[in-house]
Amino acid sequence: MRLSIVTGRANPVLAEAIASALDIRLTSCTVKDFPDGELQVEVHDDVRGQDVYVIQPTSPPVSNHLLELLLLADACNRRGAGRLTAVVPYFGYARQDRRVKGAEAVGARLVADLLCTRFHRILTIDLHNPAIEGFFASHLEHLSAVSLLADALRGSVSRDSIIVAPDLGAVKLAQRYADLLNLPVAYIQKVRLSGREVSIRSVVGEVYGRSPVVIDDMISTGGTMVSAIEALLDHGCLPEITIASTHALLVSDAAERFANLTLQRMIVTDTVYRSAEESLPIETVSVGGMIADFLKRMHETDA
């Protein structure tokens, strides 16, 4: 069974990197926008009987990219794909994993159900909440970019560095970085006021005179990160601040928020495509090679 790579418009640069690492060309397809907002997807190459991997993070605009992914799946199936895998490096709706007020839709579960109706397998990276794995009826492969990011950090951290989780939800993630880099951990206690604003209650851990490395799985508007960094500075940390995160959405005024801080480095991956932010010291670690290696192993195992 031949391996084929199909990409939507969410992150074609990453798809090219994956195809290049596998030494194959991307399957030809087109996605068109009609004036009324409808999408039309067409797969031009024959994928009959092939092991097809559709590369499409559900990054902003999330709903558009999700629908595009589902239409790509339908087009591939109608072209006779033998096995279909969704490669969703960033899984949108992951923060909607539970009901808080009792009346909300559980978006993560709904999206998981939609993907499982069209794909044999789903591959993703650093889910916001690993418990979401239980939402998938199809086989889910959950990869992590933590080791890649830790390797990128290794040359710049010192004995004075400390790993910081910007909220309680990131403490386990922070410990993984700390174990890889042999550093202590601190964390921030916060209260979320809205989708953009948080209030800091306290800093737990000795950060005075240390260089913080603030980590999280994703950066959206930057509200959590910026509030955490401001609290660290108030508690006497050194101004050499580093951020590491798998998914750099940087939506709304996130770039402006970070530009007002004295960031030394912001290390992220390319799970989400973004244009260069000249005002930020961004360094990008590619997950293309990691994904390509995993796809090759899956394909060879299933052949």
Q: How many Cα atoms are found within 13 Å in the side-chain-facing hemisphere of 65?
A: 25
The amino acid at residue 14 is: L
The amino acid at residue 157 is: V
Query: What's the Cα-to-Cα distance from 182 to each of 40, 59, 157, 166, 179, rounded to whole Å?
Result: 50, 33, 10, 19, 5
Annotated catalytic residue: which of 32, 101, 172, 190? Answer: 190
User: Pairing state of beta strands 121-125 and 139-143?
Assistant: parallel
32 is catalytic: no
Q: How many Cα atoms are found within 13 Å in the side-chain-facing hemisphere of 203?
A: 22
CA gap 114, 289 in Å, rounded: 28
Pair of tokens at residue 174: 């922070």
Which sequence positions are flagged as catalytic?
Answer: 190
